[in-house]
Amino acid sequence: MLSQDSLKQIDKELTKYPPEQNRSAIMAALRIAQVEHGWLSNELIKYVANYLNIPPVQALEVATFYSMYNIEPVGKYKLVVCTNLPCALSGGVNAANYLKNKLGINFGETTSDGKYTLKEGECMGVCGDAPVIIVNNHSLCSHMSIEAIEKKLMELQ
């Protein structure tokens, strides 16, 4: 279910931990699998667990505990906006409302063309650069004024 490249990345993660502690690599392995498939189906979670030689339930438990794993399909671009207090004081809530209106969806929803999923985020540790939006988990965009959001949406086609 995973490409040679993804498996190679997982192998590299495994070298960080003692040989009998494969389980430690589960967080990175699920992340790598998610990057390739967009989300983690039960089959994929099981496949990753088998690859690490750990019980599937241990992988499932991690996939469901941590909020950045997508355990359901998401749009091509998952946008997570931080609305926690420090960000809210500098436009975080406004940015979220703007996105809701513009895309016509609420938090937790995906546009009907499958392009965007919008989520509410908790503190990302970049409150000084509010408003902040994370695109597909790994690309953090700061100072997201209305103009900056418009520009970003144009880029994300």
Partner 1 sequence: MAIYTSGVIFAGVDTADKDCWKLESYIKRGGYSALDKILNSGMTQEQIIAELKSSGLRGRGGAGFPTGLKWSFMPRALDGQKYIVCNSDEGEPGTFKDKDILEFNPHSLIEGMIIAGFTIGASVGYNYIHGEIFEVYERFEEALAEAKKAGYLGKNILNKNFDFDLFAHHGYGAYICGEETALLESLEGKKGQPRFKPPFPASFGLYGKPTTINNTESLAAVPFIINDGGQAFQDKGIINSGGTKLFSVSGHVNRPGNYEVPLGMPFAKLLELAGGMRDGKKIKAVIPGGSSAPVLPGDVMMQCDMDYDSIAKAGSMLGSGAVIIMNEDVCMVKALERLAYFYHEESCGQCTPCREGTGWLYEIIHRIEHGEGRLGDLELLDNIGNQMAGRTICALADAAVFPVRSFTKHFRHEFEYHIEHKKCLVNHKWC
Which of 56, 89, 20 is closest to 29 using CA atoms? 56
Bridge pairing between strands 139-141 and 77-82:
unpaired
Query: Contact with partner 1 (CB under 8 A): which of 2, 40, 62, 133?
Result: 62
Asked if 102 contacts 140 with a C-beta cutoff of 8 angstroms, the reply is: no
d(CA 142, CA 157): 19
Q: How many helices (H) and strands (E) does the chain have?
A: 7, 5
Q: Note whether 84 binds ligand FES by CB under 6 A.
A: yes
156 near partner 1 (CB under 8 A)? no
| DSSP-derived 3-state class of residue 119 | strand
Judged by CB under 8 A, the residue of 41, 46, 71, 84 near partner 1 is 84
Tokens of 147: 């103009």
Give yes or no for residue 29 binding ligand FES (CB under 6 A): no
Using CB under 6 A as the binding criterion, the count of chain residues that bind ligand FES stands at: 12
Pick between residue 68 and residue 126 the one whose CB is nearest to ligand FES: 126
**Rule CB under 8 A: is residue 25 a binding residue for partner 1?**
yes
Q: Least CB distance from residue 2 to ligand FES, whole Å?
A: 32
141 binds ligand FES (CB under 6 A): no
Question: Applying CB under 8 A, does 65 fall inside the site for partner 1?
Answer: yes
Rule CB under 6 A: say whether 132 interacts with ligand FES: yes
Q: State yes or no: residue 11 binds partner 1 (CB under 8 A).
A: no
Q: Which of 38, 42, 33 is nearest to 9 (CA)?
A: 33
Helix (H) or strand (E) holding 155: helix 146-155
Binding site for ligand FES (CB under 6 A): 82, 84, 86-87, 92, 123-127, 130, 132
